């Protein structure tokens, strides 16, 4: 991050954390803190697509929504185009909304079933009608252009969401996200609810729109192959923390972190020559209420050493845009530390 000019950077987070309080026990008498996201430092350059990958429940969506200021961070700072947006509100936040949009995971529940497509796509345009000096005719024109760009027919504007397939609904959601000509879009698992045949169409559409609108994406997914195909760089997340960052070209060739390697080993391959030896992780993902000490991955890591149980690994630079948080790659760590179970490899 130190090598990157502020002017190139669209989004930057500085030690962002998001904790939730949850009540448990008899009569909800006990309070627990869910540490959904902790001390996250990421950046997204102008025109860049950054992937965010990890298992379900690791905090990907919480991080995406925190960056968009849909939820407030507990600690840390968020910068958009060089401006600190962590505590802005009112008019300033409203202005920011024009530049930051989201495409939701579920194209069925994310569209209001009582609105016609025209109103869904134009909702933001109506909200900013005065600021953008738009009248109803110009809004209709923009909606028609968006329908064309997203591959929907003109008569789609007078129909309701239930009259469309899942892929078409996601196109409507994408149309809504680009209507205000934003700079940044969080794509929150936009393909996970779609059929395989539709996924590549939507992926191509996102790619084309990115070029045309000069967009930056944060592409959230648990699918490594899809994420690598659309992203320039990828962050790997585990239990609310970033544990590796690498160029997407390196994801399958040169991953470092044992967790990244385990995720990659689980990617299905049709070609038997390309199949990797599966790394089976033991146990479940620990609860974000009681995050393990040291390296949070140590209870499941096949390479864990004594130091991993008590000391948090530093985030080390291991190459161009390649960083990893793992004691295995820290030259200064004590080489006498043994793996938890030497029979594991």
Binding site for ligand SF4 (CB under 6 A): 257-258, 295, 297-298, 301, 303-305, 308, 313, 326-328
Instruction: Answer for the pair 210, 221: CB distance below 8 angstroms, yes or no.
Output: no
**Least gap, CB of 39 to ligand SF4 (angstroms):** 16
DSSP structural state of residue 277:
P
**Least gap, CB of 75 to ligand SF4 (angstroms):** 23
**Least gap, CB of 4 to ligand SF4 (angstroms):** 26
Nearest of 74, 90, 89, 154 to residue 118 by alpha carbon: 154
- Comparing CB distances to ligand SF4, the nearer of 120 and 325 is 325
Nearest of 213, 214, 191, 187 to residue 202 by alpha carbon: 191
- Comparing CB distances to ligand SF4, the nearer of 164 and 327 is 327
| Cα–Cα distance measured from residue 131 to residue 261, given in angstroms and rounded to the nearest whole number | 49
Which region holds residue 235: left if phi is over 0, alpha if psi is between -120 and 50, else beta?
A: beta
Residue 43 half-sphere exposure, CB side, CA atoms within 13 Å?
18
Q: Provide CB contacts within 8 A for 336, sequence distance 6+.
A: none
- Comparing CB distances to ligand SF4, the nearer of 269 and 334 is 334
- Comparing CB distances to ligand SF4, the nearer of 104 and 256 is 256
Instruction: Answer for the pair 330, 316: CB distance below 8 angstroms, yes or no.
Output: yes
Q: What is the CA radius of gyration of the chain?
A: 22
**Least gap, CB of 33 to ligand SF4 (angstroms):** 23
Measured N-to-C along each axis, helices 117-127 and 136-149 cross at an angle, to the nearest 10 degrees, of 120
**Least gap, CB of 243 to ligand SF4 (angstroms):** 7
User: In angstroms, how far is CA 173 from the centroid of its own chain?
Assistant: 17
- Comparing CB distances to ligand SF4, the nearer of 41 and 312 is 312
**Least gap, CB of 225 to ligand SF4 (angstroms):** 23
> Other CB atoms closer than 10 Å to residue 147's CB: what's the count?
21
- Comparing CB distances to ligand SF4, the nearer of 173 and 299 is 299
What residues are paired with 80 via a beta bridge?
11, 83
Nearest of 288, 241, 286, 239 to residue 22 by alpha carbon: 288
| C-alpha to C-alpha distances, 191 to 88, 170, 231, 234, 251, nearest whole angstrom | 32, 8, 14, 17, 20
What residues are paired with 102 via a beta bridge?
186
**Least gap, CB of 339 to ligand SF4 (angstroms):** 8
**Least gap, CB of 337 to ligand SF4 (angstroms):** 9
- Comparing CB distances to ligand SF4, the nearer of 56 and 293 is 293
- Comparing CB distances to ligand SF4, the nearer of 181 and 340 is 340
């Amino acid at each position: 991050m130190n090598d990157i000019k502020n002017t190139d950077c669209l989004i930057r987070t500085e030690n962002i954390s998001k904790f939730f309080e949850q009540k448990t026990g008899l009569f909800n008498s006990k309070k627990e803190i869910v540490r959904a996201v902790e001390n996250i430092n990421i950046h997204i350059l102008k025109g860049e697509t950054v992937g965010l990958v990890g298992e379900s429940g690791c905090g990907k969506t919480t991080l995406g929504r925190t960056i968009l200021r849909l939820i407030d961070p507990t600690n840390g700072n968020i910068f958009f185009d060089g401006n600190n947006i962590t505590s802005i509100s009112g008019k300033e936040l409203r202005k920011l909304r024009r530049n930051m949009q989201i495409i939701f995971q579920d194209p069925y529940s994310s569209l209001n079933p009582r609105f016609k497509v025209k109103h869904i796509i134009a909702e933001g345009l109506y909200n900013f009608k005065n600021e953008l000096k738009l009248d109803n005719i110009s809004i209709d024109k923009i909606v028609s252009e968006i329908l064309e760009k997203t591959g929907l027919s003109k008569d789609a504007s007078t129909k309701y969401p239930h009259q469309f397939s899942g892929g078409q609904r996601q196109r409507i959601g994408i149309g809504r996200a680009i209507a205000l000509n934003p700079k940044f879009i969080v794509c929150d698992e936009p393909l996970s609810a779609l059929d395989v045949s539709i996924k590549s169409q939507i992926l191509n559409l996102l790619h084309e729109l990115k070029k045309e609108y000069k967009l930056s994406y944060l592409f959230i997914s648990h699918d490594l192959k899809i994420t690598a195909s659309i992203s320039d760089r990828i962050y790997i997340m585990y239990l609310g923390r970033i544990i590796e960052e690498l160029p997407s070209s390196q994801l399958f060739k040169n991953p470092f972190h044992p967790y990244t390697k385990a995720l990659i080993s689980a990617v299905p391959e049709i070609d038997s020559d390309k199949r990797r030896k599966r790394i089976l992780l033991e146990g479940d993902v620990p609860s974000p209420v009681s995050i393990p000490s040291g390296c949070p991955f140590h209870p499941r890591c096949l390479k864990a050493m004594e130091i991993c149980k008590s000391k948090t690994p530093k985030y080390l630079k291991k190459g161009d845009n390649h960083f990893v948080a793992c004691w295995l790659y820290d030259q200064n760590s004590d080489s006498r530390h043994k793996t938890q179970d030497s029979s594991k490899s």
